[in-house]
Structure 1
Amino acid sequence: MERNAHDIPWRSMYKLLTGAIVPRPIGWISTVDVEGRPNLAPFSFFNAICSNPPHVLFCPGVRSTDGAPKDTLRNVRATGEFVVNIVTEDLLDAMNLTSTELPPDVDEFAYAGLTPMPSVVVRPPRVAESPIHFECRVVHIYDVGHEPGAGSVVIGEVVHVHVADDLLLDGDKIDIRALKPVGRLAGGEYCLVREIVHVPRPPSRIRPSHT
């Protein structure tokens, strides 16, 4: 296949992107609206940016059903806060339920049988069943188009971190075997961490500066 990207319908391009860029981490994002009503939704266009200062990003798309922005995007625009909850194997079904397009007044925590837990620094609640949470404040929102298939990039600074003690190795490393994270593939497919390959990083060939 060889085609100009602009000649490919956006739905087909979505399938190509999500089928090729795999596995993707899942940002399970909890927010509240201006009235304090909670919202919870998963985003696989999600990742870390840097650690000093710590920042993450996620990308809510324009809803294909009516061309409206997702509730999560409206909430972070209005409140400037969100929480990233990490999805594990035992939370896969609940996470999938929260991907349902629901009216703004429906509480996804209750809909999926999850427990909201107060955060320490921000207003949105955490998912109590998740073992890792990153409380974040929005620093930038970049819109990339406004039609169905378009989306926005939400960048947040991590202001508070929660990690279950039984997941920690040497105080600051995550035990991936204990975490049992879930990765996003395409369509209704996900992947689980069943085999881990260790590849030592090559040594740096850059000579240190003596200035």
Structure 2
Amino acid sequence: MFYETAKNDHGLPHNPFKAIVSPRPIGWISSLDGEGRANLAPYSFFNSVCDRPPIVLFSSSGYKDSVANIDATGEFVCNMASWDLKDAMNKSSAAVPHGTSEFELAGLEMAPSNLVKVPRVAKAATALECKHLQTLRLKDLNGEETDSWVVFGQVVGVHIDDSVIVDGIVDVTRFRPLSRLGYMDYAVVTDVFQMTRPKV
């Protein structure tokens, strides 16, 4: 089949776009507002974009609290959402009034960060402390502004639970990171395989 996204004439009961661009890692973003209140929200449009220096991004549909907080304070933490924290991650995705602590809502303990003021999820196997680089409001092909915002941050500190390091390597099967698929579907990493890049 083929369909044009402008027409959305795929004839399916649900838009397949997000199911095709998958799996997507979940950036579980913690931030602080200007009054020092903690916010926590998962974003499935998230990834790393380079490693020298290490930079991550996440995209928000709408100028939500996470974006506003980061623009105001210049800091955030990306916590790893994993299998054992899936229910808490889902609870933290609820649309709640500004100022509500998703940490409390999801029953999560906060832990202090080392280089930023923003707290991290204490039980997260990994967490990336980030300093804000820029926020972009995306435009479409017609040059019209969309209601999608992309936040870039440089990773300045990395937390790794020692229990997931095996023979000097982070073993993702130890903490089973979650990924987002299409619709209401998620996946979890339980198996890995290696391929060596060929020499020509």
TM-score by length of 2: 0.89
Q: Counterpart of 1:8 in structure 2: which amino acid?
A: N
SS in 2 for 1:15: coil
Taking the aligned partners of 1:126 and 1:148, their CA distance within structure 2 comes to 32
SS in 1 for 2:113: coil
Cα deviation, 1:119-157, whole Å, max 9, x if unaligned, reads: 111111100010101000011111114999731111100
Cα deviation, 1:83-139, whole Å, max 9, x if unaligned, reads: 000011010000000110111121000000000111111111100010101000011
- If each structure's strand is expressed as a fraction of its own residues, which one has the higher value? 2
Q: Which runs of 4+ in 1 moved over 6 A?
A: 146-149
SS in 1 for 2:39: strand
Mapped contact 2:172–2:190 kept (Cα < 8 A)? no
Any residues of structure 2 matched to 1:12-161 within 5 Å, and which? 15-62=15-62, 69-145=63-139, 150-161=147-158
Q: Counterpart of 1:199 in structure 2: which amino acid?
A: M
Q: What corresponds to 1:167 in structure 2? A: 164
Any residues of structure 2 matched to 1:160-199 within 5 Å, and which? 160-171=157-168, 173-199=169-195
Taking the aligned partners of 2:112 and 2:59, their CA distance within structure 1 comes to 24
Taking the aligned partners of 1:125 and 1:177, their CA distance within structure 2 comes to 25
- 5+ residue gaps, structure 1, are 63-68, 206-211
Identity of counterpart residues, as a percentage? 40
Greater mean alpha carbon deviation, residues 186-195 or residues 108-117? 186-195
Taking the aligned partners of 1:38 and 1:75, their CA distance within structure 2 comes to 9
- 5+ residue gaps, structure 2, are none
Deviation at 1:47, TM superposition (A): 0.4
Any residues of structure 2 matched to 1:4-15 within 5 Å, and which? 4-8=4-8, 15=15
Mapped contact 2:125–2:161 kept (Cα < 8 A)? yes
